[in-house]
Amino acid sequence: MGKGKINSGVGVGERLLAWYDRSRRTLPWRAAPGQKPDPYAVWLSEVMLQQTTVAAVGAFYAKFLGLWPRVENLAAAPVEAVMQAWAGLGYYSRARNLHACAQSIVRDHGGRFPNSEADLLRLPGIGPYTAAAIAAIAFDRPAIVVDGNVERVIARLRAVETPMPAAKKEISALVAEIAPRVRPGDFAQAMMDLGATICTPRNPACVLCPLRGDCAASAAGTQEDYPRKAAKKPRPLRRGAVFYLRRSDGAVLTRTRPPRGLLGGMEEFFGTDWRSERPADWAALPPTGDGAAAPHAHADWRHAGEIEHVFTHFALKLAVFVAEAPHSAPAPEGGRWQDEPQMRAAALPSVMRKAERAALGFLAVSGLSGEKIGS
């Protein structure tokens, strides 16, 4: 449990709001002082910012607004176009849910966002955090908004000893304790800004913090010890293969992943499943073995190396195989040939872009003169 009680006298919340009025960040989705927030902008940014940094989101946010400036535009877009625009942001189920949510808002709410947490929670892809953030920031409704920045601020302010994620409920209660009765949207954004700019994970700028006099961790000199973290479980390793097949005219063979599950609805190259029991030398095996089912298995497949990628719950090593096919080669069932402009725009997730770079690098250096599989 945390130590002591936060001094809420003249208000931690009020002092934080005063600091925010002086030091607030200027963000493309944030309303300027005195302006009414746009619920569409708030919703879009909050979904994009999940598991992602502000710096990474800026270009994607601008792209989405350029393509779909209103929720009605997003709802009317093909889901494939939304997935394509999202490629590179990760956690791709968010893109599918974003599209489904836009359609629900247009179909069930006349294009207007609900303004209560309870109604927002009924929308596809909106969980407790996002509902609270939209309610507070877009509609100035009292709501307890706790993201990673807020967790860090409160864990240090109160010296919360309970490790994350078990401390989430305790931290939410402590946020409610210091929240002022006014300006809930500004308070939520002030907490986020404090964590992002002052109370940073490493080397926090405590001397500049408006809450330094209330911070138990700062007083003890233990700022960077919080939030406490539970010991991480080892991340299992899975192995697989991916097949980069290029036609003589430059077109590349791809397919679409199933709509549900990991990377659902995204583009990919043909490949194996991803298993944890494969041996370390599995990548040296012929691509037609072990259930690999390489497209055009008779092609002259070459081993172009191995890539690594880390997902939330497992690490992945993919052997990359490269081959060429004649211009007349048909696409196997479920596949399609895509030319260079189409490949540039394809909704390939990051792991497939890594495979693409490995294949292109291999071709640039050696063409198909490298190690022949099975030789």
Residues annotated as part of the active site:
46
**HEC profile for the chain?**
CCCCCCCCCCCHHHHHHHHHHHHCCCCCCCCCCCCCCCHHHHHHHHHHHCCCCHHHHHHHHHHHHHHCCCHHHHHHCCHHHHHHHHCCCCCCHHHHHHHHHHHHHHHHHCCCCCCCHHHHCCCCCCCHHHHHHHHHHHHCCCCCCCCHHHHHHHHHHHCCCCCECCCHHHHHHHHHHHCCCCCHHHHHHHHHHHHHHCCCCCCCCHHHCCCHHHCHHHHHCCHHHCCCECCCCCCCEEEEEEEEEEECCCCEEEEECCCCCCCCCCEECEECCCECCCCHHHHHCCCCCCCCCCCCCCCCCEEEEEEEEECCCCEEEEEEEEEEECCCCCCCCCEEEECHHHHHHCCCCHHHHHHHHHHHHHHHHHCCCCCECCC
Token code pair at residue 100: 């489904």
**132: amino acid identity, one letter:** A
First to last CA, the chain: 62
3-state secondary structure 66-120: HHCCCHHHHHHCCHHHHHHHHCCCCCCHHHHHHHHHHHHHHHHHCCCCCCCHHHH
Q: How many residues does the chain have?
A: 375
CB neighbours (10 Å) of residue 275? 12
CB neighbour class for 52 (10 Å; exposed up to 12, middle 13-18, buried from 19): middle
